[in-house]
Chains A and B, each alone.
Chain A
């Protein structure tokens, strides 16, 4: 199960900060991702991290992004700096699972609406 939390209302130029807690399952066997969805729009992958801190970012957001992990708490976090109205979205944390050559998001948090205004 994934439970996520963080501030829901930001002003332009502030830093978005969200955390996702992982409860149950094997923390070390997956990548842990952030995905966002602007209101009424599609899904955008933000980035991912694994238990040893290997990180991959969406190049379109990389300059403003930090994803980190705390294995002792089985949590991972997202920070996005200098937010604008374009960053208003529901932010999901998700588990990325590998099965042979296939990778898929098979467990999702409930989502956190972040509004920049």
Chain B
């Protein structure tokens, strides 16, 4: 099973600033990585797949990068609706698909 580790656990950012979240895989997952956003009481929402491809209707301020074992999610000019928990997920080894433990982006 591939273990996904996200850092930091909590990121405090002011509105309008940039947030950079990290995700590390315990072994290479190539570019088979997705990012999800989850707000309290809601299901996760797909943001990024293929490490860097934005999902449908996702604003351009969300961007993903990386390959192999190191990945980042960058949120430019944070909006109030972006404060949430973000999860990375690998699908390179699909038995099982595995998620990181999440990074909470909170208002500074």
Q: Which chain A residues have a beta carbon within 8 Å of chain B's beta carbons?
A: 41-45, 56, 58-60, 92, 94, 99, 101-106, 108-111
Contact = CB atoms under 8 A, between A and B. Distances in A.
Nearest to B87: A43
Contacts, number: 61
Interface of B: 1, 32, 34, 36, 42-46, 49-50, 53, 55-56, 87, 89, 91, 94-102
Tell me the interface secondary structure of chain A in the complex.
strand
B89 A43 contact: yes
Contacts of B1: 59
Contacts of A43: 36, 44, 87, 89, 99
Contacts of B36: 43, 105
A104 B55 contact: yes
A35 B41 CA distance: 15
Contact of A104 (B34, B95, B99): B34
